[in-house]
Chains A and B, each alone.
Chain A
Amino acid sequence: MDFRLTEDQRNLRDVIRDYLDKEHGPEVLRRLDEGERRDPAIWAGLVEMGIAGLLVPENHGGLEMGLIEAVLVATELGRANVSESIADTALIAAPLLAGDRQEALAAGELRVALAHPINPWIADLANADMVLTGGKTIAAPEQCEALESVDPLRLLYTPMSADADDALLDRAALITAAQLLGAGERMLDLATEYAKMREQFGQPIGSFQAIKHHLASVAVKLEFARPLIWRAAYAAQHGHARAPIHISHAKVAATDAAVFAAETAIQVHGAMGYTYEVDLHFWMKRAWALAGAWGDRAFHRQRVDEAVLGGTLPITPDQTFASE
């Protein structure tokens, strides 16, 4: 038993974080918001970093990594508010596609949209090359109708017919939880920085205990969502039967942490946080959007509820990491 990330995993996370800090800062979000909202150059950069092929086997041109790496990368994507469909394509769809497709995918030449009846929308359908639904890929429709999200960088479309697929749902919920965690971490950073800089009554507002306690409470929530996501990724990677329950547990915790981080961050920013000029709103809106994506908290809580209170999941401490 060793719950630490390996050195390679930490390096991967740091490399992606450094890259996104440099190449995908708030000024990029503003440029996208004022323009086309998607940018082939951003996509190309993410492909260059190896994200497209992260989960693709080496013999198909990928890095052949696993779900732990996928959630680490997804957390960074959430932290940087990346809106390209790279998470959907590379971290969720890739392993569910046939080999030749994976090759194109790893090369960044294929974008996949995900359709599932649990969502009333399909994200990034208009620029997708194909749609994954019900365990099959089908052609993207010629025409689709746009829906407006509170999140200005999300591109949503009304669903074409979608078929259920538990494997897709679980993977997508896990990756979404990781993105929520990243968004929450970023909001905590933004609010903490602001609290150090903004002065009232002749001192930084971060020196007031009320503000310290707010931010500390967010740190606690995030800290305890993180290992749930990692365990869920591990269990799914190793094919544990209870992985779906762990994923649900992680999605609920990540949702609650991110929504709480948003409410707290805006409070710490005061009226500044209520403006479009300050960056915070991009992450708050992403958190509100992802909170309901791939199973809302009611759905995932219910899955945990049935397993735990319904008695199908052994709950003694020796079972925390069990595979059955």
Chain B
Amino acid sequence: MDLAFTPEQQEFRAEVRSWMEAHVPKAPLKTLEGREGFDEHVAWERELASGNWGMVTWPEAYGGRGLDLIRWLIFEEEYWRAGAPLRANQNGIFLLGPTIMEYGTDEQKAKFLTPMAKGELIWAQAWSEPNAGSDMAAIRSRAVRDGDDYVISGQKTWSSRAAFADWCFGLFRTDPDSKRHKGLSFILLPLDAPGVTIRPIRQLHGETGFAEIFFDEVRVPVANRIAGEGEGWSVAMATAGFERGLMLRSPARFQAVAQRLVALYRQHADTASPDTRAAVLQAWMDAEAYALNTYHVASQVIAGAHIGAEASLNKIFWSELDRSAHRAAMSLLGATAELRTLPGGKGGGEENAWLEGYIFSLSGPIYAGSNEIQRNIIAERLLGLPR
């Protein structure tokens, strides 16, 4: 065990810090869940790419820097420290990218990874269906083989930012006679293909952050399939591992939340109730624990370990930490918590980001596989309890 950063790692941190200080937008962007804000976030992705910061862990050949996971964590710490925007590109770089890296052909890597790292193609995830949420193996949307193409029909739903994204990666039933996990394939397609219709869904805060996608005989080349026909489930499980695990939600994000929460507490210290004070402290302690766990997991991965069902531990921890941190903030704000714009301040006050954050934090225990499902996975696969 060696818990000190090397001089090279420290230099790397300094390099990220100075780039971020020079480039991160001074004013917060509009929400990623709306058209305008989405475009602003895509512009930011391009800016990041111009500094070659799109995805530092990827090989240089694909627009990365070929760095290890420790540097990735350092990068993230500096990213959040600088208050940089959310990643419009998150489905691509954190989920699909690693999946293609593991299962894609060389042609697929060449075709998709570089534009992804550069923020040129923004991806949506098209897995869930109206009757296949937690029970994803109930997927019905089908892809029928016709020569060198698949012809796709069916419906997906809850696809985050599909209303604005360029491409999607989906799971489709390629074997019409198959049941459950068998006979599914992992297929990529452009969202402007003929036969694709997108219907944005209004989320509870009013923005259209996710969408339904309808496929009416959409033609997609077979070459857009990742891994073998009928192997989609195991590919998707690997992707889900990236989603639950250390890529999608790096600790620095929650450490930033905890740090802002502590600052908010200081503003309200004289009126805060002792249990809210305790909740604030707990949020900070949990964010710290999450960081330590992640460094430990990353160290194991660098040494060649494979993360399986353990990703479920992670997903529960970050999503519940995020929710309790924001709940504590709502308590601190008291009577002003419900206001969209906080009173006070020159020129009309600032947007109540804690309220938006609290609402979003309530989706954390639902998306990326609900926490009930994660607890089942932990109980059955890690603890060996009977099904």
Which positions in A face B, CB cutoff 8 Å?
Answer: 118-121, 147-151, 154, 156, 158, 199-201, 205, 208, 210-211, 259, 263, 266-267, 270-271, 273-277, 281, 284-285, 288-289, 291-293, 296-299, 301-302, 305
Contacts and interface: CB of A to CB of B under 8 A. Distances in A.
B331 A276 contact: no
Nearest to B362: A266
Contacts of A297: 273, 276, 331
Interface in B13-28: none
B383 interface: no
The residue among A119, A148, A274, A275 with the most chain B CB atoms within 10 A of its own CB is A274
B140 to A, nearest CB: 14
B372 interface: yes
Contact of B337 (A119, A273, A291, A301): A291
A292 B336 contact: yes
Given A119-B335, A291-B337, A301-B273, A270 B203 contact: no
20 contacts: A119-B335, A120-B343, A149-B340, A150-B339, A150-B355, A199-B131, A200-B131, A200-B138, A210-B375, A271-B363, A274-B362, A274-B363, A275-B203, A277-B202, A288-B338, A292-B334, A292-B335, A296-B335, A298-B273, A301-B274
B337 A288 contact: yes
Contacts of B285: none
Nearest to A211: B372
B157 to A, nearest CB: 8
B334 A301 contact: no
Interface string B189-213: 0000000000001111110001000
Nearest to B361: A263
Given A259-B327, A267-B366, A298-B334, A148 B134 contact: no
B341 A147 contact: yes
B135 A200 contact: yes
B135 A276 contact: no
B337 A147 contact: no
Contacts of A266: 362, 366
Contacts of B355: 150, 288
B133 interface: yes
Given A150-B205, A302-B273, 11 more contacts: A120-B339, A210-B372, A259-B327, A263-B362, A270-B134, A271-B157, A273-B204, A274-B363, A291-B337, A298-B272, A305-B274
A158 to B, nearest CB: 7
Interface in B335-377: 335-341, 343, 355, 358-359, 362-363, 365-367, 370-372, 375-376
Contacts of B338: 149-151, 154, 285, 288-289, 291-292
Contacts of B201: 275, 277
B363 A292 contact: no
A285 B323 CA distance: 16
Interface in B252-299: 271-276
Contacts of A118: 335
A291 B203 contact: no
B312 interface: no
Contacts of A148: 339-341
Interface-centre pick from B338, B362, B376 (highest chain A CB count, 10 A): B338
Q: How large is the interface on B (under 10, 10 to 19, 20 to 34, 35 or more residues)?
A: 35 or more
What 4 A-B pairs are tightest by C-beta distance, nearest first? A296-B334, A298-B273, A292-B335, A276-B202
B212 to A, nearest CB: 11
A305 B330 CA distance: 21
A305 B355 CA distance: 28
B333 A292 contact: yes
A115 to B, nearest CB: 13
A271 B367 CA distance: 7
A201 B134 contact: yes
A158 B335 contact: no
Contacts of B341: 147-148
B380 to A, nearest CB: 13
A129 B35 CA distance: 42
Contacts of A274: 203-204, 362-363, 366
B141 interface: no
A210 B378 CA distance: 14
Most buried by A among B138, B201, B343, B372: B372
B206 A276 contact: yes
Given A120-B335, A120-B336, A148-B340, A275 B273 contact: no
Contact of A301 (B135, B275, B336, B371): B275
Nearest to B352: A150
A275 B336 contact: no
A192 B201 CA distance: 24
B158 interface: yes
Contacts of B375: 210
Contacts of B174: none
A298 B335 contact: no
Nearest to A301: B273
A299 B333 CA distance: 12
Contact of A299 (B131, B271, B376): B271
B128 interface: yes
Nearest to B208: A276
Nearest to B272: A298
A277 B158 CA distance: 13
Contacts of A277: 201-202
Nearest to A154: B338
A11 B335 CA distance: 35
A275 B366 contact: no
A53 B110 CA distance: 75
B338 to A, nearest CB: 4
A276 B371 CA distance: 22
A210 B372 CA distance: 6
Given A147-B339, A147-B341, A298-B331, A284 B204 contact: yes
- Which interface residue of A148, A150, A259, A275 has the most chain B CB atoms within 10 A? A150
A201 B12 CA distance: 48
Contacts of A281: 204
